[in-house]
Structure 1
């Protein structure tokens, strides 16, 4: 466009020069007007050209920026896709591991439930055997019951000891001997002997200072008889004294105090198999 304008301007200049002698004022003014118009057009064309060149430069700059942003997004997408693939792989591995652990735990739970079922079955069988063996002593204050998965043989003190004594009488020895016959047939049973008293203060009992002493000494008397006379394995035995602090009822009447004075023989199945399973 620049060249065309220059060419036209040159043609007009030559034409004006060649005919300047014969041009009239009117034609001369017309030529000058055309020249001004062309000059103005030239100036506007230059301004538009500069504006277009500036626009092109900005577009090129924007293109470079967009290209850089696009490359950055592609890089991020590639990184995210890689992380997602790793995550899926890891998640699959974790799910498989959790599934395997869950199956193992379910298996262990079934084994524990089976052990506990066998324990409860053995406990019920033991209770029945003891009730049959000690049936003749029920009216003398002997009871057999199951509490918390254990068999409790409770003997009131009048069945075992004279009043205020720690020496087992003949009726008590007979009951303990029949109890020992059952216990010796159950080697998997642990035996705890607990002495209990009422809340009455001890008086005039010599070396026995208080209810703690009385409960412990009566408990050890029973353990000695079971182990030394009836030959129950001592390794299975435990002797403890509870004093007056685990009563069966209030110590407000002679009858309730009599129930609180007792020996409880607590029989619990050995659970070594269960403990070994829990440790795994």
Structure 2
């Protein structure tokens, strides 16, 4: 555009000689205006160059930023994909874990129910056992009480029998050394009289001295009505041949008649209850010594008066255990 203006001015210069002053002035004014316009356009063009340079820089920065954003986007996309994959893996793991947990929980719940049922059964069994133990404890306490009472009763009976033995020993002291003994054993008192004190050979009639001893025993028994009396007749093993006296068939028969003779003497004492008396013949079948010697046979020929305390209360208490 400047080049065109210069050409126009040159043309005007060559033509000034033949152009009027007015035209020249007009042209000159236009030229001045054109120069101003040219400078203005040059300034504007420079501003545009600056603006374009700034735009280019800004555009470059934006492109760089865009590239960075694209890189960030790609990275974010990759991260997102990785995160999604991780999430999927975690979800699958969680689902598997949840399934396993549910299965384990169900199994544990089943086991817990079984354990609770077993525990409940054991608690019931323990409660029943405790009730049984309480009952046994009560029964034991009751039994202990009854046992103590029983022991006291037995002790009282033993003391009573000991006193009875002492009384009999004192009453029969005159017959000491004459084949009469008094002893206490197994809770009973035994008064043993050899035949030499009571009977002649083959006889069941009680002699005078023996009768005195039996009468003394009767006096003691009359003062002890709660004593049961068993009179046993014993013989040696010598056989009986033929008829003796009223006729004796064997040693059993003889031992029974002798025991009965003692019972008859005791029965003469009105203080003795006849229901407490029992006569028994044992023959030669309960010897205390060997029958191979005369001394042994003499010891075996005897009457035993066995005194036993009445044990009805003790027997009843024993049956209650």
TM-score (norm 1): 0.75
Aligned to 1:276: 316
Q: Note the C-alpha offset of 1:49.
A: 11
Aligned to 1:69: 107
Maintained 8 Å contact 1:164/1:205: no
Maintained 8 Å contact 1:166/1:221: yes
206-215 vs 75-84, which moves further: 75-84
Q: Note the C-alpha offset of 1:190.
A: 0.5
Does residue 226 in structure 1 map to residue 241 in structure 2?
A: no
Q: Note the C-alpha offset of 1:95.
A: 2.8
Find the partner of 2:180 among 142, 166, 188: 142
Q: Note the C-alpha offset of 1:106.
A: 1.3
Structure 1 residues 14-53: aligned runs within 5 Å: none
Aligned to 2:227: 189
Aligned to 2:304: 264
Does residue 213 in structure 1 map to residue 253 in structure 2?
A: yes
Alpha carbons of structure 1 residues 49 and 186: separation in structure 2 relative to 1, 3 Å:
closer
Q: Structure 2: which 5+ runs fail to align?
A: 1-85
Q: Note the C-alpha offset of 1:225.
A: 2.1
Find the partner of 1:105 among 130, 134, 143: 143
Q: Relative contact order (alpha carbons < 8 A, sep ≥ 6): 1 or 2 greater?
A: 1
* Structure with greater Cα Rg: 2
Aligned to 1:238: 278
Alpha carbons of structure 1 residues 83 and 253: separation in structure 2 relative to 1, 3 Å:
closer
Q: Structure 1: which 5+ runs fail to align?
A: 1-47
SS at match of 2:230: strand
CA distance in 1: counterparts of 2:243 and 2:255, whole angstroms: 13
Q: Note the C-alpha offset of 1:58.
A: 4.8
The alignment covers a number of residue pairs equal to 237
Deviations 1:131-167 (A, max 9, x none): 1111112232111111211111111112111221111
Aligned to 1:253: 293
Find the partner of 1:203 among 241, 255, 262: 241
193-202 vs 135-144, which moves further: 135-144
Q: Note the C-alpha offset of 1:88.
A: 4.1
Aligned to 1:42: none
TM-score (norm 2): 0.66
